[in-house]
Structure 1
């Protein structure tokens, strides 16, 4: 693909003009980010509710079920959601990871009962919501690398929730493979 000098200069000039706008969060944007916090909080509570309903449909004696040797177990679908999401948020917001100490214990996640893992899920969801609510608008607007692109931190929270949706969908397949009809979808 050839690019003309004229188009190259237009692109360069456009980028230079937009740079100052990326540097500061305007008052209007701060207000919009407060709207994000409210919206995300509602969606996040719904996500927790649906996640727990799917999680609790599998009997505890099937928590180590996996459909192929290389696939996650049913338990690991949920543990991965907790550990991956937390690591992504902590790494980008420079926060201490609340699971670092637990993960140092050999077999921590595997040794949890269904009830204990449910408590971890609830605590994880509470931690993410608290983190969103306490993160300052300037930080939420900060661009971070994600999937080969740069996105604002507030969008990262939605991307991570999408990742949870993916694994929850996997868990639904595990239920079906064990003859369990999953609860119907619960939307926002």
Structure 2
């Protein structure tokens, strides 16, 4: 490779990297966008179930509809707080089964806001750090994806609950 061609390649790489930002910047921007879509789809799914069916569970050993969502709140915040060294805003919250649909919807909104704000403020070193999770070693970024996957799992179960109650769920929102 000629020197001039090598310099152009190097300069192009520097310009692309500078324009895109660091890998953490790119991750945080992507996560912010995906997290908003997750919030919108989760709240839409949750709000479709009539209030009188918030306690519905297809089988006794399964979570109630409301618990599909409250579990996501408490599990996600506990996992992030414990690994990122931040205070878990839901550590002491109890009585989820007694909360109304509107109260849980408000908590879901606050939860999504807390996670989004927390991840936006996480130092790059924390996103690159390795954490044990479910028997594996994940970076902070991978942990965020794993926790979102957990929410997707429970939201999918909630969609089945809606269908069992004769409620047609919204179509998939996408990325």
State TM-score, norm by structure 1: 0.81
Following the alignment from structure 2 to structure 1, what is the Cα–Cα distance between the partners of residues 92 and 70? 15
- Residue of structure 2 in register with 1:161 after alignment: 148
1 CA distance for matches of 2:100 and 2:136?
39
Whole-angstrom CA distance in 1 between matches of 2:35 and 2:151: 11
In structure 2, runs of 5+ residues without a counterpart are: 1-16
Alpha-carbon distance in structure 2 between the residues aligned to 1:101 and 1:80: 14
SS at match of 2:137: strand
Give 4+ residue runs of structure 1 displaced > 4 Å after superposition. Answer: none
Q: Once the 2 structures are TM-superposed, how far is the Cα of residue 102 of structure 1 from its aligned partner?
A: 2.1
Q: Which runs of 5+ in 1 are unaligned?
A: 1-26
> What is the distance in 2 between the residues matched to 1:96 and 1:151?
21
Aligned partner of 1:78 among 69, 72, 95: 69
5 Å-filtered alignment, 1:14-163, equals 31-103=22-94, 108-163=95-150
Higher mean displacement: 123-132 or 94-103:
94-103
How far 1:101 sits from its partner (Å)? 2.9
Aligned-pair Cα RMSD in Å:
1.4
Q: Within the alignment, does 1:186 sit opposite 2:167 as a pair?
A: no
What secondary structure does 1:110 align onto?
helix
